[in-house]
Each structure stands twice: as structure tokens, then as C-alpha cells.
Amino acid sequence: PTRGHKDMIRLEYGDTFLGGDFAFYKFVGEHISNFPITRNNIFRFRVQVGYADTMEDENELPIFERFFMGGENTLRGYGLRTIGPRDEFNRIVGGEKSFLVNIENNFLITNELRIVPFFDAGNTFDDKIDLDDLYMSAGVELRFFMPMMNIPLRFIYSRPLNAEEFHNTNSFQFTIGQIF
């Protein structure tokens, strides 16, 4: 897209009376904006907030319903699902809350080729969302849209700006598909 906005709200619900093993709910809200600066320059950003919890005080939210970040669709430059709260053995266990911001500027070289500088910030949390505790990355992405399918090949060069020693980081990533 070259202009416009997209708002999305997703709610997941599971309960034991429906045959599930856990009673939980999960909410994700997302806003995406596209602003044309010039005909060949599009400013884009995404803000995403998530919240999940159990409906039974004695149970903990299962790891497969928790939030994780990292990878080419959330925090570029960090390894897939490597951002989130950790246990006492430094193993990632994911968070019950999440916050993510992606900012990018698309320079359209041709209809099929874009150069995209970007900045990403986000984290997952067990307690309240703390905007002072966000992991950040910046870099540039080359997107090539395959003409017959209009699906982008994405070549991503990124630098995590405040990675910790236990984070798996990647300076170069390759993927197929849109980020948002």
C-alpha cells in the first residue's frame, strides 16, 4: 500500500468447557499507517499491543499462548522468538503483554524494487508494559517484488541497538513476504 490506515483487533478465547486444557484470553490490537511523502517515497509505521491472561488464578498461561519477539516480522536483527521474559535458568518463557513499533521509509526505485531504512522497538513483559525497557534495532532492507506473484523477497541488514549477551542476533536476514 502507498497510502491509508489499517486497524485490527484480534481476540482469542479458550475455555475448559469448550474442551480445552486451559481457560485463557488473548487480545492483540494493531494500527498501521502509510503516508506518501512523494510519489516514490512512502513513510510507514505499525504499533501493536498485546495482552494475555488465564481465567483461573491457580493456572499459569501456557508458553504457547505467550508473546515472543524477534525475527524479521517483529524486531529485525534479533533471532526469532528470542525477546521476552526469562526464567531463573535464562531460558526464554515469553510474556503476557507485548508492545511493538516498526517505523520504515520505503523508497520506490522501480515498481519491483524498494530500499527501506527502518527502526524497530519492542519487548514482551510479565508485569506492566514498560516503554523504558524496549529492545531496538535499525537497518536497511532491500525488497524485490516478484512480478508474477507480487510477493516481496526481503534482504535485511540490521543492527540490534541494545542487545544483551544472551540474545541471538543476526546482521543479515532473508525472508519472503510482508512485515506488515
- For 64-89, the pLDDT digits (tens) are 999 999 999 999 999 999 999 999 99
Amino acid letter, residue 80: L
Q: For residue 108, list its beta bridge partners.
A: 114
Which of 2-11, 15-24, 25-34, 75-84 has the lowest average pLDDT?
A: 15-24
End-to-end Cα spacing for the chain: 10
What are the distances in angstroms from CA 139 to CA 35, 73, 102, 131, 162? 20, 14, 12, 21, 14
Structure confidence at residue 44 (pLDDT): 97
d(CA 35, CA 164): 34
Question: What pLDDT is recorded for position 153?
Answer: 95
- What is the DSSP secondary-structure string of 56-109? STTSPPPGGGSB-B-STTSSTTBPTT-BS-B-TTS-B--BSEEEEEEEEEEEES
Model pTM?
0.91
**Collapsing DSSP states into helix, strand and coil, what is residue 18?**
helix
**CA pair distance 159, 137, nearest whole angstrom:** 5
Cell, residue 130: 514498560
Inform me whether the pLDDT recorded for 163 exceeds 80: yes
**At residue 134, what are phi and psi to the nearest 5 degrees?**
-110, 140
Q: Which tens digit of pLDDT belongs to each residue from 32-47? A: 999 999 999 999 999 9
Percent residues over pLDDT 70 in the chain:
100
Contact 53, 67 (CB under 8 A): no
Query: Do 100 and 109 form a contact (C-beta atoms < 8 A)?
Result: no
> In the prediction, which pLDDT does 67 show?
97
The label of the residue with cell 512485515 reads 179
pLDDT of residue 138: 97
Residue 148: pLDDT over 90: no
User: Which has more confidence, 148 or 135?
Assistant: 135
- ∠ CA 144-149-153, rounded to 5°: 25
Quickly state the pLDDT bin for 131 (edges 50, 70, 90). Answer: very high
Q: How many CB atoms lie within 10 A of CB 109?
A: 12
